[in-house]
Structure 1
Amino acid sequence: MGEDLDRTRAVWRQVAQVVICRIKDGTYPPGSRVPSTLELATELGVASSTSQKALAHLRREGWVRGETGIGTFVADDLPSD
């Protein structure tokens, strides 16, 4: 597991924050594919539904965009903090 998550706080929010940090530090540059819900769940040791909720939140906030049948990608125009 690459990240230590605080199990006393909403885990899906922490997963979303991990992805945002990776976008900001260039690990996931604009236009690149973000790991799937299953990949994130496995890496971070959380349930798939938790990573799915995190990615749905990131889509709503404009950090990522979904391409049906292809995957989730970092948005080209990122939201400001």
Structure 2
Amino acid sequence: MSDLDRTRAVWRQAAAVVIDRIKDGTYPPGTRVPSTLELATELGVASSTSQKALAHLRAEGWLRGETGIGTFVVDQPPND
């Protein structure tokens, strides 16, 4: 994320990237999203930042975690 907006929390920006990808079909329902480390590397953020973003998206109903397998887009993501 070379174009980080320093006025907004970075984890929220990372979460927004994932939501945009869900909405545009990059991550369709049922598919695995990148791991915390993969997402951190791709976006150029700390792994703790991507971990917080993914945790937030699970809490908001966008993603579901399967222990030992990964994090997946829910079948029916919320409408916002």
**TM-score, normalisation: structure 2:** 0.95
Q: Any unmatched runs of 5+ in structure 1?
A: none
Alignment pair present for 1:48 and 2:41 = no
State the AA in 2 paired with 1:63: W
Partner Cα separation in structure 2 for residue 55 and residue 40 of structure 1 = 9
* Stretches (4+) displaced over 6 A: none
Q: Summarize deviations over 1:33-55 as a string: whole Å, max 9, x none.
A: 00000001000110000000000
Partner Cα separation in structure 1 for residue 4 and residue 58 of structure 2 = 21
State the AA in 1 paired with 2:11: W
Deviation (angstroms), 1:7: 2.8
Q: Any unmatched runs of 5+ in structure 2?
A: none
**TM-score, normalisation: structure 1:** 0.93
Partner Cα separation in structure 2 for residue 40 and residue 5 of structure 1 = 15
Q: Summarize deviations over 1:8-63 as a string: whole Å, max 9, x none.
A: 32000000000000000000000000000000100011000000000000000000
